[in-house]
Amino acid sequence: MVCMRRVCGETNEQCFFSRHLASFYHSFVGGFFVSVFSLFVEHIRLFSSSFLLLLKQRVSENDMRTFEIYTDGCARNNGRYGAYGGWGVVCPFNRSLDCYGFYNTGQQTNNRYELKAIKEALKIARNMRGRAHFNIFADSKYAINALTVWIHSWEERGWLTCKGTPVKNMELIQSIDDMIDELGHYGKTVELIYVKAHGSNVFNNEADGLAKRGAEENNIHESYYY
């Protein structure tokens, strides 16, 4: 309105006209700037929200949900006549996923049941929705080394040990390795972590208890000769 005083020098009609012209001009130009401004704001908003989304994705990639699973396997009379075993899995994040069992076919060895327990843990990981990282704790150095270290040299040597004998539990190890690869395709990563047996880890001890319960329910020892 300050500029109006300068425009309204002459007659009332002129003043009236120029006042309306000015207000028209004002609203037009103003409207133009308002729309340019709001477009600008909208772009900023869109840009910042997509930036935030990107940031969120990055954060979730770095900070993926992590689940801990404890596994254990056992075999009574391991390596002897009448051996029988069981496996146990403990999921501290959802105790209703805890499970145990046994196999009434195949060799009943401690090492096999340690591997079987890890395989059962991977089945739980497979059944869960979405991307996630799984820390699988086992007290078997054999199982962890077989799946993370030795497997590479076994693959290179055509699944023969350095003595030239066939690698024990080859099919089981291969199927677990395939499962880990498959989980990777669904954005699920797996880490195998050693935990000391019969130590202070409550979940490892519970997994041990479940494995033993699995073995107790295993009726194979009544007929099986190892």
Ligand X SMILES: *[C@@H]1O[C@H](CO)[C@@H](O)[C@H](O)[C@H]1NC(C)=O
Contact 217, 76 (CB under 8 A): no
Residues 40-79 that bind ligand X (CB under 6 A): none
Q: Is 99 in the site for ligand X (CB under 6 A)?
A: no
> Quick one: which segment of 32-40, 94-102, 114-122, 139-147 binds ligand X (CB under 6 A)?
94-102
Check binding of 96 to ligand X (CB under 6 A). Answer: yes
Q: How far is the CB of 128 from ligand X (least distance, A)?
A: 8
* Structure-token match 């254990």, residue found: 72
Give how far the C-alpha of residue 53 lies from the chain's centroid of Cα atoms, to the nearest Å.
Answer: 20
Residues 121-140 interacting with ligand X (rule: CB under 6 A): none
Nearer to ligand X, 69 or 147 (CB): 69
d(CA 108, CA 90): 21
Q: How far is the CB of 133 from ligand X (least distance, A)?
A: 17
Segment (H or E) for 127? helix 110-127
- Residue 113 neighbours by CB distance under 10 Å: 31
Q: What is the DSSP letter of 128?
A: S
Nearer to ligand X, 70 or 84 (CB): 70
Q: Is 97 in the site for ligand X (CB under 6 A)?
A: yes
CB nearer ligand X, residue 50 or residue 94: 94
Residue with token string 């002129």: 14
